Structures are given as structure tokens and as C-alpha cells.
Structure 1
Amino acid sequence: MKIKAGLYIGIAMVLIVGGSLLAVKGKDAVSQAESRKQGILEAEQTTLFYQNSPGAIAEAGASAGDSVREGEVLFKVKSAGEGDKEVLAPYDGLVDRVNVEKGDQVQAGVPLAVVQKNTYYTDLYIQESEIQQLEVNQSIDVHFPYLDQPMQVKGTVNSISSAPLFATLRMSREKGQADLSMFLVRISMDSNTDLLPGMTAEVKLDEITD
């Protein structure tokens, strides 16, 4: 009987220790999952509108896919009322789309082209209890976990602001918590030939060290 009792006690101890280890591992897994903040990679774009008196496109120096520098002449317009007018690139970037060609008649408000910045960004929703880990101009690792070969790039915290109320309510209710203040954090990074707008970007808060 003593042997059986000892055996039962030993089995019970193994089960208790094993259960405790599983609970700790489970808690760690949940903690790691909660520290991962995901957003969608976006590219900032600007539509260039013609803003002068009616005229005709005299030169169209930009094509879709061209790299451009800030201040570079993209179009020249011959206007009867104001003479020759130039349309310049607003920043370094890439021509995403061109809507006109040489000889086209244009007037104020006509979209000429769309220019995309050389930087990407992603917006993340961060809880009030976590926001102190981040600050503007902070360098941070951004992961792209769902690529065939997951990659990591350096990003910079551009801005931190209060999140819209709907985001605060949604995030709180999903977690079954009382309403918590949420913050919208924008992180920018250089464009990369391996990255495309629409990809999932991820930041791991548990990687951040003071």
C-alpha cells in the first residue's frame, strides 16, 4: 500500500509540475502574441492637379514607373493667358500614374499625374498601457512575417496621436476589457523592391529596450 501511495503521489507531483510549466508557457505565448502589433503597409501618394488658366501640354517628361527628384519638371503647359507653366515633382519619389500626354488640352482642376513617395508607412493601434514604450523619432524594427522569406527593415516612429473613438471601443471589446484609450502610431520606412503596399507589417513591442 505504501508503494502504491508513493506512486500515486509521484504521478500527482509530475502532473502538477507539468501543468504549471504548460500554464507558464501558455502565458508566455499569449504575452508574445499581444506584444505583436500589425498594420498594413501603405505608400503616400499625391495627385498633381493643373492649377492655372487653360492651355495645352507642351511637354510630358514623366512616364509611369519613372523615378523623380523634388523640383524636377514633369510637365510644361503652354497657356494663352499666362504663358508657359511648369508642373514640378513635389518630392523625391516614383511616378505611379500619368493621366495626360503631349497635346492634351487642360484646365484648372485636371489631374495630371500621381506621384508616390520613396517611403512607406504603417499605422498601428497601441494601448494606453503600452504607449510609453514608443516615442517620436524612435528607431524600431519592422517585420514582414508572411513573406516566403520573412524580412525585417528599420523604421522610424513618425507620429503618435489619439486613436479615433471607434478604434478604442472595438479593441477594448475584442479583449473583453473596459474601454481603454488607444493611440495611433505611424511608422515610416524606406521603400524596398521586396515590399509592396498592402503587405502586413509587424512590430514586436517586447523587442524594444530602453
Structure 2
Amino acid sequence: MKIKTGLYIGIAIVLIVGGALLAVKGKDAVSQAESRKQGILDAEQKTLLYQNSPGSIVEVGVAVGDSIKQGEVLFKVKSAEEGETDVLAPEDGSVNRIIVKPGDQIQQGMPMAILQKNNFYTDLYIQESEIQKLEVNQSISVHFPYLEHPAEVTGVIASIGVAPQFASLRMSREKGQADLSMFLVRVAMDANADLLPGMTAEVKLDEITD
């Protein structure tokens, strides 16, 4: 009986000491979960507007999903004033949506296509107690944990702002309730062949040193 009691006490001491060490180092499961901030990867988009004289679409030179380079001909438009003119890609990217088709009449300012830029970003909600670790233009590692081979890319903090009111949290305290302030942090990164908009992006705040 005494042996069993001593064994139980020994196990309890090991667990308590081990747990205390993990808590001090911030590597316990709870700390790790709290330090991981996740967002959805998204891509910057640009609406291509027609800028020339009124005319009609003669040719659509690209399809949805095509990669494009700055200066590439996307559309040909024929107008009474200018004859046949080319509408060029304003920057590198890809075609997300085509709004017009051959034969359509088009006026200045009308949308022609929606282009996806070669820039990704993710928005993260960060608590006030953790926001001091971050600043605009700071480089930060972004993980993609759910890929078959988890990837890591380097992002840059593009902006930090107060999160919309609906994102504020309520936390319980012994004396009533108090608001928990949240900040909206946008992390920008270059497009990557392994990444797609909609993937889960994760930042581990415990990797960041003050």
C-alpha cells in the first residue's frame, strides 16, 4: 500500500513540475493555441474600366483563369472616333472574370473585366495585449498548415487598425463584464504557386520576439 501511495505521489510531482515548466516556457497546448492566429488567404483584385471613346467589342483576347502580363492586349475595341484600339493589362496578374463579349457596345467608365493581382493577403484579429509585438512593414512568417506538405512564406504587415465593433469580444471578470479590444492586422505576401485564395493562413505570435 505504501509503495502504491509513493508511486502516485511521485507521478503527481512529475506532472506538476512538467506542467509548470511548460507553462513558464509558453509551450503548453493552451499557450500554443492562443498564440496561433488564423485567417483566410485572399487575393487583391482590380476592376478594369474602359477609358476610351464609345465603341463596340471586336475581340476578347483572354479567358477566365489566364495569366497576364502588364501591357498584354486583353480586348480590341472599335470606335467611330479612334478606329480599332487595344485595351492593355495594367499590371501582371490573372483574369478572374470577363464582363463583356464581342459585339457589346461599351461606354467610357464601363467595367470590362475583374483582374486578380499577384498579391495575396490575410486579415487577422489580434488582441490588444498582443498587438505590441507587431508594427507596419514588419516581416512575419505565415504558415499554411493544411497543405499536404505544410508551407511557410514571408509576409509583411501592411496595416494595423481597430477591428470593426462587431469583432469586439466580451470577457468575464469577477466584477461584471468588460470589452476585449481587437485589432485588424493585414499581412501581405507575394503570390505563390502552391497557394490558392481560400486557404487557411496562420501566424504564430510566439515566434515573434519583441
**Matched residue of 1:186: which SS?**
strand
After superposition, the C-alpha distances for 1:170-209 in whole angstroms (9 at most, x for unaligned) are xx45999731211100001111111111100000001112
After TM superposition, the structure 1 stretch with the greater mean CA deviation from structure 2, 72-81 or 121-130, is: 72-81
- Deviating above 6 A after TM superposition, structure 1's stretches of 4 or more consecutive aligned residues are 174-177
**Matched residue of 1:179: which SS?**
strand
1:12-51 counterparts in 2 under 5 A? 13-21=9-17, 23-24=19-20, 25=22, 28-51=28-51
Distance in 2 (alpha carbons) for counterparts of 1:126 and 1:54: 48
After TM superposition, the structure 1 stretch with the greater mean CA deviation from structure 2, 120-129 or 68-77, is: 68-77
Kindly state the Cα deviation for residue 44 of structure 1 after the two structures are TM-superposed. Answer: 1.1
Change (3 A) 1:101 1:187: same
Residue 61 in 1 paired to residue 61 in 2? yes
Counterpart residue number, 2:92: 92
User: In structure 1, what residue type is equivalent to 2:92?
Assistant: D
User: In structure 2, what residue type is equivalent to 1:96?
Assistant: N
Counterpart residue number, 2:111: 111
1:36-185 counterparts in 2 under 5 A? 36-51=36-51, 54-80=54-80, 86-108=86-108, 110-169=110-169, 172-173=170-171, 178-185=178-185
After superposition, the C-alpha distances for 1:64-113 in whole angstroms (9 at most, x for unaligned) are 33333345443232233566555343332112222333433223454311
Gaps of 5+ in 2: none
Change (3 A) 1:165 1:204: same
Distance in 1 (alpha carbons) for counterparts of 2:116 and 2:172: 35
Cα RMSD between the aligned structures? 2.9
Change (3 A) 1:175 1:161: farther
Distance in 2 (alpha carbons) for counterparts of 1:175 and 1:63: 57
After TM superposition, the structure 1 stretch with the greater mean CA deviation from structure 2, 69-78 or 36-45, is: 69-78
Q: Which of the two has greater helix per residue? A: 1
After TM superposition, the structure 1 stretch with the greater mean CA deviation from structure 2, 7-16 or 133-142, is: 7-16
After TM superposition, the structure 1 stretch with the greater mean CA deviation from structure 2, 193-202 or 20-29, is: 20-29
TM-score for the superposition, normalised by structure 2:
0.82
Distance in 2 (alpha carbons) for counterparts of 1:94 and 1:127: 35
Distance in 1 (alpha carbons) for counterparts of 2:171 and 2:199: 26
CA contact (8 A) 2:172 2:178 kept: no
- Matched residue pairs, number? 204
Gaps of 5+ in 1: none
Distance in 2 (alpha carbons) for counterparts of 1:154 and 1:12: 48
Distance in 2 (alpha carbons) for counterparts of 1:52 and 1:185: 38
CA contact (8 A) 2:171 2:180 kept: no
**Matched residue of 2:7: which SS?**
helix
